[in-house]
A and B are shown apart, each in its own frame.
Chain A
Amino acid sequence: MTFRARHLLGIEHLHPEEIRTLLDLADQYVDLNRRAVKHSDALAGLTQINMFFEASTRTQASFELAGKRLGADVMNMAMQASSIKKGETLIDTALTLNAMHPDLLVVRHPHSGAVDLLAQKVNCAVLNAGDGRHEHPTQALLDALTIRRTKGRLHRLNIAICGDIAHSRVARSNILLLGKMENRVRLVGPPTLMPAGIGEFGVEVYDDMKEGLRDVDVVMMLRLQKERMDGGFIPSEREYYHRYGLDAEKLSYAKPDAIVMHPGPMNRGVEIDGEIADDINRSVIQEQVEMGVAVRMAAMDLLARNLRAAKDEGVYV
């Protein structure tokens, strides 16, 4: 088994072998989660703190459940409501929490790089639950697990990521992960929602959705934030749905067995047609949620093992 990372800050620094190790372990946790008694003691005695500086329901719930199923003591902190309002800096908050001896720190922050900064200041394992538009590694890992289980492999697939690429940390982590695992990645969306320098990402870029979906194995839709719909980046919601919303007609360009994914929460009728989202033959959106818990269990388990090993070697006091 190889998984050397001390923190899970992004996909960027993971080796393909580490990704495989994590997904293999996650497979085991999927089995555990489907049993009547869903419990392990892998994190027994450890403290997990979820620090969310940005509102989140599903990711936070998923991390909380993952920790509890592994026997950790889990604490949730809604950071928007507390010390930030009192003017405390991120680093001071981190040092304060660090003094309470947590073992796992799960952090979401609205600014890119904030989780990296925090990880430098604490001596526990840090998991990035999304930083600005930088990375959201557990989302990419749960997407990878979903693809691997439905398609039977995680390489040599044609995968289209569609929508607001520019503002999406999910897209960045997925581009990195799918590229590392040797897939062909296409990005589909209006040019105003594509990041600069996209030509150097090792991906194919399409602004025509039908062309972009032609013969792909996987269609990954992204959420379009409400605040980007009113003329700033795209002319209107209805024009966006017409050109880039996933409907049956556009999906017909993909392979007949192509699967449809969405990280949630969905805007039905904006980026995806409700019927497609609910089509159990095409949509794996519910599976993604299930895989999310398993992937987060696996990630925390592996980081906790590394943390214990490091403590045994006297790296941390």
Chain B
Amino acid sequence: MKTILTNARLIDPEAGTDSLGWLLIEGETIAATGADTPPAADHVIDCGGKCLAPGIVDIGVKVCEPGERHKESFKSAGLAAAAGGVTTLVTRPDTAPAIDTPETLEFVTRRAREAAPVRIKPMAALTKGREGAEMVELGFLMDAGAVAFTDCARVVENTKVLSRAMTYARSLGALVIGHPQEPGLSKGAAATSGKFASLKGLPAVSAMAERMALDRDLALVEMTGVKYHADQITTARALPALERAKANGLDVTAGISIHHLTLNELDVGDYRTFFKLTPPLRSEDDRLALVQAVAEGLIDVICSMHDPQDEESKRLPFEEAAAGAVGLETLLPAAMRLYHAGALDLPTLFRALSLNPSRRLGLATGRLATGAPADLVLFDPDTPFVLDRTKLRSKSKNTPFDEARLQGRVLRTYVAGQEVFAHA
């Protein structure tokens, strides 16, 4: 079975190109691409000059199974992902219970296979129960399919525990993902220190807390030689340390959520809890510096940090409300804001959305190359629309983009050559 997508704007993050051409899918893989006369196929799709890019690989998605399936299930997350052009979900282990044994990981893998139309790559906790005391069975968990190890937003405070876990992880070639927030300073914070938080009377954390924690983690990386990824770097002050670590040859990468690239602390306005995130939204200066860092490649990965919360968790005074936002379906249109603002071109965006996260996890996806898996997203970067959160496929509707004017619509999504979403 051969399918050809003709008349497409091919967004190739590997080559850094954005040009008209065709792409041939044969079975589960990309059989060929080109700009000349398209070859014959069983099935021809005219893309009408719209963009065809490698599907998004989203690191750090919270699917609330096990524990809180009413917030998000593999089925709902999978449908949301397909509709958002996300072809691989790299799921978080901060469920209830935490995913810290091969048995729970196998449960997740089985549920994912049964229910989700996209690929699921699970991460596992770094320490048992994410309690920061004892390392998990890293080897068994890797055998069971864990692609990375992280305690998510719960920072491993005990440096000795973390250094041993990193040392052990290094021997397995495992990737450790850190959440750089100094726990003492950031405890109880709902906003970033500064004029806005002070005027609103919100407990706040200094932007410096991120740099301090990153400095510690990078020192441990230097000590242990582990592969390390910082889940979110969101402040300008943390960037020099990251740059230095990379220049010194440490095996370090960093990500950022699309929310931190497109929103700032002022969006919280009069205590709008859908804008309460972990870490909190930053200043506009930070946002601009981070957009620049993505453009330069210093920040490697853009993710949605998809974090479903039900209405009850959000309809509370700001300090008490849960942090987090859903993002699978808004990741691509929000990213188009950066494209339309002229800050990032499409190949650069898909380098951070698809190619880099794939590479970091050792996956074959994220590319438009011959022989690569046919995980693809066809989208129109221009279609304007006003987001209605009630229409989201996620079970939870906590998006900061409710009623926002966005541009960019996913038209079709393919996973392993199969169409998993088509815009009605």
B251: min CB distance to chain A, Å: 35
A169 touching B198 in the complex, CB below 8 Å, given contacts A112-B271, A113-B270: no
Residues in B neighbouring A42, C-beta threshold 8 A:
none
Interface centre among B195, B197, B204, B271 (most CB of A within 10 A): B271
Residues of A contacting B204 with CB < 8 Å?
196
Q: A116: which B residues are within 8 A, CB to CB? A: 270-271
Contact partner of B317 (CB less than 8 A), chosen from A117, A133, A200, A201, is A117
Contacts of B320 in A (CB 8 A): 111
Chain A positions within 8 Å of B167 at CB level: none
What chain B residues lie within 8 Å of A134 (beta carbons)? 200-202
Bound-state Cα–Cα, A12 to B271, Å = 14
Taken together as a complex, chains A and B put the C-alpha atoms of A117 and B315 apart, in Å, by 8
The distance in angstroms between the C-alpha atoms of A110 and B81, with both chains bound, is: 39
- Which A residues are CB-close (under 8 A) to B315? 89, 91, 117
Residue B341 lies at the interface, judged by CB distance under 8 Å to chain A: no
| Chain B contacts with A in 397-419, Cβ cutoff 8 A | none
Q: Which residues of B contact A45 (CB under 8 A)?
A: none
* B42: Cβ under 8 A from any A Cβ: no
> Which residue on A lies nearest to B204, using beta carbons?
A196
Chain B minimum-CB-distance residue to A175: B199
Neighbouring B residues of A109 by C-beta, 8 Å: 317
Does A16 sit at the interface, judged by CB under 8 A? no
Among residues 256 to 295 in chain B, which have CB atoms less than 8 Å away from a CB atom of chain A? 270-271
* Least CB separation from B195: chain A residue: A197
> A172's contact among B193, B199, B206, by CB below 8 Å, is which?
B199
Bound complex: CA of A196 vs CA of B141, how far in Å?
Answer: 44
In-complex Cβ contact of A197 among B198, B271, B319 (8 A): B198
Interface string of B171-198 (1 = CB under 8 A from A): 0000000000000000000000111111
A-B contact count (CB 8 A): 71
B318 on the interface (CB 8 Å rule)?
yes
Q: Residue A90 at the B interface, CB < 8 A? A: yes
Chain B contributes a number of interface residues (CB within 8 A of A) equal to 21
A301 at interface (Cβ–Cβ under 8 A)? no
Determine the chain B residues whose CB is within 8 A of the CB of A114 once the complex forms: 317
- A112 CA / B197 CA spacing, docked (Å): 10
**Residues 277 to 325 of chain B near chain A (Cβ within 8 Å):** 312, 315-320
Does A264 belong to the interface (CB within 8 Å)?
A: no
Tell me whether B198 and A198 are in contact (CB under 8 A): yes
Q: A89-B315, A132-B319 are in contact. Are A112 and B200 (CB under 8 A)?
A: yes
Residue contact B195 to A112, C-beta cutoff 8 Å: no
Q: Contact: B195 with A172, CB < 8 Å?
A: no
Measured between C-beta atoms, what is the minimum distance from B138 to chain A in Å?
Answer: 39
A109 to B317, CA, bound (A): 10
Report Cα–Cα, A226/B195, bound state, in Å: 26
Q: How far is the CA of A201 from the CA of B195 in the complex (A)?
A: 7
Q: How would residues 93 to 136 of chain A score, 1 for a CB under 8 Å from any chain B CB and 0 otherwise?
A: 00000000000000001011110110000000000000111110
CB distance from B112 to the nearest CB of A (A): 33
Distance in Å: Cβ of B185 to nearest Cβ of chain A: 12
Report the minimum CB–CB distance from A112 to chain B (whole Å).
Answer: 4
Q: A90-B317, A111-B319, A112-B318 are in contact. Are A196 and B201 (CB under 8 A)?
A: no
In whole angstroms, how far apart are the Cα atoms of A135 and B201 in the complex? 8
B→A interface (CB under 8 Å): 193-202, 204, 206, 270-271, 312, 315-320
Closest 8 CB pairs of A and B: A113-B271, A134-B201, A197-B195, A195-B198, A196-B193, A112-B201, A133-B201, A114-B317
9 residue pairs A–B, Cβ–Cβ below 8 Å: A12-B199, A89-B312, A89-B315, A109-B317, A111-B318, A113-B201, A113-B271, A196-B204, A198-B198
A residues whose Cβ falls under 8 Å from a Cβ of B: 12, 89-91, 109, 111-114, 116-117, 131-135, 166, 169, 172, 195-198, 200-201
Inter-chain pairs besides A112-B202, A197-B194, A197-B198, 6 sampled, C-beta below 8 Å: A89-B316, A109-B317, A111-B317, A111-B320, A132-B319, A134-B202
